[in-house]
Structure 1
Amino acid sequence: MKHPALADTVAAIVTLLILTGAAWIAIYGPETPIPVHFDAAGQADRYGSRYEVAAVLAGLALLNLLAAWMVGRQADSTPDLIRRKGLRRGQWLSIIIVSAIAAFIGWSSLGPAAPAGAGHPGAAMAFTAFILLITGATLGRVGPNPFIGVKTPWAYKSQLAWDRSNRLAGRLMFWLGAAGLASSPLVAQPAGLITLITGVLIAAVWSVIESWRVWRTDPDRQPF
């Protein structure tokens, strides 16, 4: 019997931990309204019940399990070792991102600053920058998959287009994340977060154009 890969096991453990946290919040969380949504300046602009937070976390847990299972099965069925490693990197990246999002949701809604309805002004920017940093550090080595990466039609039709567009996106996201982390305690909000998100949108458009450009010149591309 084939043993599950380490990433599969970790994904199952993370899913169980998030579901356990969701169940604890649903049973023992505050009965009074808690912040569930924040504006760009970090101020709570909507309140909800503990059951809403628990439902969001449970949804994240199931999304994590689905993504890890699909990418893991794709990796298991791929004979090419390099592509299999790339898919496993994508699996690890999705696990890290979902774990970070779940932790941030719990901290924002139930942390020390939650009763006042305000977090640290740069918290949202720092969290976004952290996600960009870890994504950028890994993205250029992730193989084609349905969840992580520059998933354009041209990237799926050309391995070269996938590799180059994702390497470009990875570099851009890494440096955006590094700059965002360094500047998040210093810049005024929400201007800092808006600037960071604008940079991400520019990087995304640039990467999509790159995938088309490389596919167009790739002699080994697949036709539509």
Structure 2
Amino acid sequence: MKLSLKKELPNIIMLLLPAIYLAYIWNGLPQEVPVHWNLHGEVNRFGSKLELAITSLSMPIITYVIFLIAPFIDPKGQIKQIGAKYGNLKLFIVALLSMLAIFILYNANNSPELSPEFIVPLLGILFMVFGNYFQTIKPNYFIGIRTPWTLESPEVWKKTHRLGGQIWFVGGLVIAVCSMLIPSVYSMKIVIASFLILALIPVIYSYLYFRDIKKVV
């Protein structure tokens, strides 16, 4: 897999957007800005402008770098077999995190509180996208539901990701819809509870299915 500047250009543009916006508002930012929020979106720690810049800009950049190098260091080379869908997933995640970075910077400049009304629907969409991609992901060490049992057996990987894809898509849809129907004070709590459930079910299923096929053998 060779890097192509043309293919990576949309990602680079997305990465530059938060930096450009930060440069635009930099002089107007106070010396102390909110850098950490609780589940209700209330500020619980202030820091310097530099800390805010590092915190917000590093999220999409680090994610992009991980996506960029993963195909080259994947021992099984399975990520390369995902093809264009891997690039689409990379662009979506980078774009989502860049939007989140801009939102954090905007709130730091205009309002100390970080409203979950914008973040929660995005998280729901993120779960839906991952659910949609789970069924196309080949066994690898970087992306997907990586348990000892899915990594041990391609069949367990396939079955687990089929189930995981379905429940993550439905779970993400439920989160996105509920965020518009319930008070925002409960939104992040629902997201955390949902994430724990969505993460736990495939892990348990992968173990049980692996145990069952071992009994048959």
Question: Shorter chain as normaliser: what TM range?
Answer: 0.7 to 0.9
The aligned counterpart of 2:67 is 68
Structure 2 contact 135–162 (Cα < 8 Å) conserved: yes
Contact 2:67 2:90 in 1 (8 A): yes
d(CA) in 1 for partners of 2:17, 2:193 = 31
- Secondary structure of the equivalent of 2:44? strand
- Which letter does structure 2 place at the counterpart of 1:24? A
Q: Is the 8 A contact 1:129 1:178 kept in 2?
A: yes
Q: Distance in 1 between matches of 2:66 and 2:87?
A: 7
Give the deviation of 1:161 after TM superposition.
1.2
Query: CA 1:65 to 1:126, structure 2 compared with 1: closer, same or farther past 3 Å?
Result: closer
Deviates more, 1:54-63 or 1:175-184: 54-63
Tell me what 2:151 maps to.
156
Query: Match of 2:34?
Result: 35
| Alpha-carbon distance between aligned partners in 2 of 1:106 and 1:19, rounded to the nearest angstrom | 5
Judged with a 3 Å threshold, the aligned counterparts in structure 2 of structure 1 residues 96 and 103 are, in CA distance, closer, same or farther, namely: same
Residues 61 and 122 of structure 1, relative CA distance in 2, 3 Å threshold = closer
| Partner Cα distance (1:88, 1:5) in 2 | 13
Q: How far off is 1:11 after superposition? A: 7.4
CA-CA distance at 1:23 after TM superposition: 7.2
Where in structure 2 are the equivalents of 1:124-139 lying within 5 Å?
124-139=119-134
Asked if structure 2 preserves the Cα contact closer than 8 Å seen for 1:128 and 1:177, the reply is yes
Confirm or deny: 8 A CA contact 1:15 1:65 kept in the other structure.
no
SS of the residue aligned with 1:105?
A: helix
2:190 corresponds to: 195
Q: CA offsets, 1:45-69, max 9 Å, x none?
A: 2222221122124433442343223
Please tell me whether the aligned partners of residues 175 and 190 of structure 2 are also in contact (alpha carbons under 8 angstroms): no
Equivalent position to 1:103, from 93, 99, 103: 99
Instruction: Indicate if the aligned counterparts of 1:7 and 1:92 stay in contact, CA closer than 8 A.
Output: no
CA–CA separation in structure 2 for the residues paired with 1:208 and 1:194: 22
After superposition, give the CA deviation of every residue in 1:53-112 in whole Å (9 maximum; x if it has no partner).
Answer: 22124433442343223333257984x7xx63436534542442233123213212324x
Alignment of 1:3-152 (within 5 A): 4=3, 9-10=8-9, 13=12, 17=16, 20-21=19-20, 24=23, 28=27, 30-73=29-72, 78=77, 84-86=80-82, 89-90=85-86, 92-111=88-107, 114-152=109-147
**Displacement after TM superposition at 1:6 (Å):** 8.0
1:165 aligns with 2:154: no
2:151 counterpart letter in structure 1 = Y
> What secondary structure is seen at the aligned counterpart in 1 of 2:184?
coil
**Quick one: distance in 2 between partners of 1:149 and 1:203?**
13
Cα distance in structure 2, aligned partners of 1:77 and 1:7? 27
Secondary structure of the 1:190 match is helix
Q: Is this contact kept in 2: 1:34–1:115, CA < 8 A?
A: no
Match of 1:64, as an amino acid? T
Whether contact under 8 Å (2:116, 2:187) holds in the other structure is no
**Amino acid in structure 2 at the alignment position of 1:128:** L
Distance 1:61 1:116, change over 3 A: closer
Relative distance call for 1:174 and 1:66 in structure 2 (3 A) is same
Query: What residue ranges of structure 2 are gaps of 5+ in the alignment?
Result: none
Task: Provide closer, same or farther for how the CA distance between residues 213 and 5 of structure 1 changes in structure 2, counting only shifts above 3 A.
Answer: farther
TM-score, normalised on structure 2? 0.78
Q: Aligned-residue CA RMSD in angstroms? A: 3.4
User: How much does 1:8 deviate?
Assistant: 6.1
Q: Report sequence identity in percent.
A: 21
